Amino acid sequence: MIRLVIAAIGLLAAGISLAEIETQAIALNCRNCHAADSSEIPTLTNLSAEQINRMLLDYKSDKLPATLMPRIAKGYSDEELKAVADYLGRR
């Protein structure tokens, strides 16, 4: 915990905003499941930010039925979902 705080202060000092740190923390959580070598869970590597964002919003509003993602998407604001989609989307 203390290391995380020190790391966060370091990033802040380097000019990275708290919102960016939060987005990266959320993205780490996504990557836990969406690892490139997972055979069960689709990878996100070929999706654009727009595609990811659209799917997240559709999971959140139950337009896109699924097992895990609706629960996950409902845990974040639309702004957080957009930020994490921008971060994870293919460039």
Contact residues for ligand HEC, defined by CB under 6 A: 26, 29-30, 32-34, 41-42, 44, 47, 52, 55-56, 66-69, 72, 84, 88
* C-alpha–C-alpha distance, residues 17 and 20, integer Å: 5
Separation of first and last alpha carbons in the chain: 32
Kindly tell me which of 10 and 75 has the beta carbon lying closer to ligand HEC.
75
3-state secondary structure of 48: coil
- Find the shortest distance in angstroms from Cβ 79 to ligand HEC: 13
Kindly tell me which of 11 and 30 has the beta carbon lying closer to ligand HEC.
30
- Find the shortest distance in angstroms from Cβ 15 to ligand HEC: 25
- Find the shortest distance in angstroms from Cβ 33 to ligand HEC: 3
* 49-83 per-residue burial string, b: 16 or more CB within 10 A, e: under 16: beebbebbbbbbeeeeeeeebbebbeeeeeebbbb
